[in-house]
Structure 1
Amino acid sequence: MKLSIIIPAKNEAESLQTLLPALRAEQADAEIIVVNDGSTDDTAMICQQQQVKCVTHPYSKGNGAAIKSGARAASGDTLVMMDADGQHQPKDIQAMLDQFAKGYDMVVGARSSESQASLARGMGNGLYNKLARYMTGQPIEDLTSGFRVVDARKFRKFLYLLPNGFSYPTTITMAFFRVGYSVGYHPIFAPKRIGKSHINILKDGLRFFLIIFKIGTLYSPMKLFFPTSVLFFLTGLIYYIYTFLIDGRFTNMGVLLLSTAVMIFLMGLISEQITTLFYQSRDDDERPS
């Protein structure tokens, strides 16, 4: 098994100075790939000094885009994705590889409650985990962690599906569950990052909210559309009963609410069929001819 370690980095020269030697000490035979995502600091020079492979973006494309570039450049059968900011520790890699060797297709480094994170991000991650558990019916300990060990061939099947931003971990996790791949977790402690975070809570708040809808559409759209349809239907029904008892008539608002319920249900039904056909085609790609 050849191992490739992919590290997306944007202006992380300070942390790379300690991270890269530590990786060499822990995984001496691994291929280390730093994806320089349009950095303006000494990231490229640090990679040259440490004699690691550096894939450079001429401008910043995003964390997900860096992961995809690293996956395309990697020659290993197994990929390790980790951040360059010091929160993911090289000493955890071997334990995750041991977990991966038990038959998993992907192992996620699940951050402990003691890990350094803001209250807003902690609450957001908890919400995503609960929603993903509801959608998949599987235990999900950390949906958004970027510290992962994954089968390279299976990961590359979904490269075109992954967004260029920070939500690639959510997308690949839900895609693996939907196809039926095995996803495991290994507890990690993530210390405080080195340098300044590239995530802005206010700026990225709406984007992370949209991740919730992506979770639904990636796995089982009806689990998202059906409850919404029922909510509109019950609202329309109650409103109809109210207006009938008060005015003895069926108002336009009641028609609108009930019609919306039917439309949302039909949209969910169509989305469910499209999702099924999409993942069926992924399964067909794996079957021997």
Structure 2
Amino acid sequence: MSHKLSIIIPAKNEAKNLPELLADIGLQNLAAEIIVVDDGSTDTTAAVAIASGAKVISHPYSQGNGAAIKTGARNANGEILVFMDADGQHKPGDIAKLLDKLNHGYDMAIGARKANTHAGLFRRIANSFYNHLASMMTGHKIEDLTSGFRAVRANKFKKFLYLLPNGFSYPTTSTMAFFRSGFPVAYVPIKAGKREGKSHIKIIKDGIRFFIIILKVGALFSPMRLFLPVSGAVFVTGISYYAYTFIHFGRFTNMSAVLILASLLIFLIGILSEQISSLHYKHSDDNR
């Protein structure tokens, strides 16, 4: 690519995996700036990365994967940013496939892991659920919501740094933000390698966090996709309860009134939220 490239690798206690990964990146002849963000490691991660020729930025203590991503993006000089994990799951040979998508006019290209390369049955089921929920919230098919292997245009990605959480759900937030802001996103099928070492993701805790973030970002960029179904469900419940009490008791109950009024309030909140969300679309269009 003619644009300067920065490869950002968040790493926590990855001294064992980094030498092979960085050597493999070097074999790709990408002429890229390589940034390793040492997220408070207690091993020799920083020293190993420096010895391999990478630029290292260290956090004084562990702040989270998302915080490392933000640190890397803020310190990157490239017009194109590539994010990949340090644990051996992502293959540097696939970077060219992501960059090719950007050359074809996309603003973000994501390495979509094949189903049989997700770690464990439970995680495959969870990822499938999140993909379907996020697709509903954005109105676009999302093939791999949680993949951390992606290439993005720096000027677009940096617009959303303020939205990114410090934990492991930066892929969720950035993907939904790009879709809802009208920035084209492409998926590239990849086969993820087996992770070396212990995962830092806590299935239940981070799973709940992913779910909340999907709702939060969906409500932020497309509020009516959340509020309208909720309002409709509450309204139907209120009307159904009214019909039941009228048929059996011949009266209109307070509960029916509360439910119908609640559905109206939820609908009005959704409309107000749509107006507020337009400010984010304006923000995304600045210096486009």
TM-score by length of 1: 0.94
Asked if the contact 1:225–1:265 (Cα under 8 Å) also holds between the matched residues in 2, the reply is yes
Report how far residue 258 of structure 1 moved. Answer: 1.4
2:107 aligns with 105
Asked if the contact 1:116–1:191 (Cα under 8 Å) also holds between the matched residues in 2, the reply is no
- The one of 59, 63, 66 aligned to 2:65: 63
Task: Kindly report structure 1 stretches of 4+ aligned residues shifted beyond 3 Å.
Answer: none
After superposition, the C-alpha distances for 1:206-254 in whole angstroms (9 at most, x for unaligned) are: 2122123124213311011111111111111111111122222222221
SS at match of 1:35: strand
1:125 aligns with 127
User: What amino acid sits opposite 1:31 in the alignment?
Assistant: E
2:95 aligns with 93
User: What amino acid sits opposite 2:66 in the alignment?
Assistant: G
- Structure 1: runs of 5+ lacking an equivalent: none
Asked if the contact 1:97–1:149 (Cα under 8 Å) also holds between the matched residues in 2, the reply is yes
Please say which of residues 132-141 and 16-25 is displaced more in the overlay.
132-141
CA distance in 1 between counterparts of 2:30 and 2:269 reads 52
Identity of aligned residues (%): 60
After superposition, the C-alpha distances for 1:32-79 in whole angstroms (9 at most, x for unaligned) are: 100001111110111121121111001111111100100111111111
Asked if the contact 2:84–2:148 (Cα under 8 Å) also holds between the matched residues in 1, the reply is yes
CA distance in 2 between counterparts of 1:108 and 1:116 reads 15
User: What amino acid sits opposite 1:10 in the alignment?
Assistant: K
Q: 1:149/1:258 Cα in 2 relative to 1: closer, same or farther (>3 Å)?
A: same
1:261 aligns with 263
Asked if the contact 1:132–1:215 (Cα under 8 Å) also holds between the matched residues in 2, the reply is no
2:174 aligns with 172
User: What amino acid sits opposite 1:137 in the alignment?
Assistant: G
CA distance in 2 between counterparts of 1:24 and 1:110 reads 23
- The one of 15, 25, 28 aligned to 1:26: 28
2:208 aligns with 206
1:238 aligns with 240
CA distance in 1 between counterparts of 2:248 and 2:99 reads 67
Report how far residue 28 of structure 1 moved. Answer: 4.9
Instruction: Confirm or deny that 1:286 pairs with 2:280.
Output: no
- Structure 2: runs of 5+ lacking an equivalent: none
Report how far residue 17 of structure 1 moved. Answer: 2.2
2:84 aligns with 82
CA distance in 2 between counterparts of 1:120 and 1:261 reads 35
Asked if the contact 1:135–1:223 (Cα under 8 Å) also holds between the matched residues in 2, the reply is yes
Asked if the contact 1:229–1:265 (Cα under 8 Å) also holds between the matched residues in 2, the reply is yes
CA distance in 1 between counterparts of 2:256 and 2:19 reads 64
Q: Kindly report which structure 2 residues correspond to 1:127-142, keeping only aligned pairs within 5 A, or say none.
A: 127-142=129-144
- The one of 250, 253, 268 aligned to 1:251: 253
RMSD, matched Cα: 1.5
Asked if the contact 1:240–1:254 (Cα under 8 Å) also holds between the matched residues in 2, the reply is yes
Instruction: Confirm or deny that 1:48 pairs with 2:50.
Output: yes
User: What amino acid sits opposite 1:66 in the alignment?
Assistant: A
Q: 1:87/1:50 Cα in 2 relative to 1: closer, same or farther (>3 Å)?
A: same
- The one of 9, 14, 17 aligned to 1:7: 9
User: What amino acid sits opposite 2:196 in the alignment?
Assistant: I
SS at match of 1:13: coil
Report how far residue 255 of structure 1 moved. Answer: 1.9
Asked if the contact 1:33–1:54 (Cα under 8 Å) also holds between the matched residues in 2, the reply is yes
User: What amino acid sits opposite 1:286 in the alignment?
Assistant: N
Equivalent pairs, count: 286
Report how far residue 104 of structure 1 moved. Answer: 1.0
SS at match of 1:149: strand
1:157 aligns with 159
User: What amino acid sits opposite 1:74 in the alignment?
Assistant: A
After superposition, the C-alpha distances for 1:106-148 in whole angstroms (9 at most, x for unaligned) are: 1100101121322222122212222232233323211211101
SS at match of 1:84: coil
CA distance in 1 between counterparts of 2:137 and 2:30 reads 40
